Amino acid sequence: MPLSTDAAIIAALVGAPRNRIHGKKRLQKILAIAKDLGEQIDTEFRLLHYGPFSADVAAHADFLYYTGKIDCVEEQVGPNGYFTTVYTLSKGVEVPPQADRLQRIASYLSTFTTLELEIASTLSYFLRSNSATRAEARTIEFKREKASAQILRKAKDILEGARNIAA
């Protein structure tokens, strides 16, 4: 039985270091990669400017915040002082028992930068229906300014590591 979107968000937060995910984009990319790796999550992702995106994940994160199951604050980050949404798990929230693997995947993916996750999730999205060579070419074409050779190599390594955890 697939995990509900709410359960998947909670599982990702449980797996993340200190039960925190910095950024809406990071939450989206972690769940998109997990789904591409075979996690049964009851949501669909489509490709937008920053890579795979699910309106369900965005709406359910808001719902979980409004119901007190997760906390959501804006924090200033980075050298330019931009603000980002930081999601944290509220105390006493039940963790879905069938979400162990998703928690391990989220823990692993949380160690990478947002840019690396953006390129890895875009590559993963294209791998759904393309050969590895074609998926790489489409990722470079779609992410022209971001998908340098170095970042693309890192994205492939990230996906390989995540596949090993998911196996």
pLDDT digits (tens, 9 = 90+) for 126-163: 999 999 999 999 999 999 889 899 999 999 999 999 99
Place of tokens 């229906």: 129
pLDDT digits (tens, 9 = 90+) for 50-74: 999 999 999 999 999 999 999 999 9
Domain spans of the chain, in order of start: 5-166
The DSSP result for 56-104, as a single string, is: HHHHHHHHHHHTTSEEEEEEEETTTTEEEEEEEEPTTPPPPGGGHHHHH
Which residues lie closer than 8 Å to 71 by C-beta, 6 or more apart? 65, 87, 88, 89, 90
Residue 139: helix, strand or coil by DSSP?
A: helix
Strand order in the sheet with 70-77: 20-22, 82-89, 70-77
Chain-centroid distance, C-alpha 133: 23
Give residue 96's pLDDT band: very low, low, confident or very high (50, 70, 90). confident
What number of other Cβ atoms are within 10 A of residue 152's Cβ? 19
Average pLDDT, integer, range 90-119 = 91
Chain-centroid distance, C-alpha 158: 12
Average pLDDT, integer, range 90-100 = 83
Q: Is the pLDDT of residue 38 over 80?
A: yes
What length is written for the chain?
167
pLDDT at 161: 97
- Say which DSSP state 41 is in: B
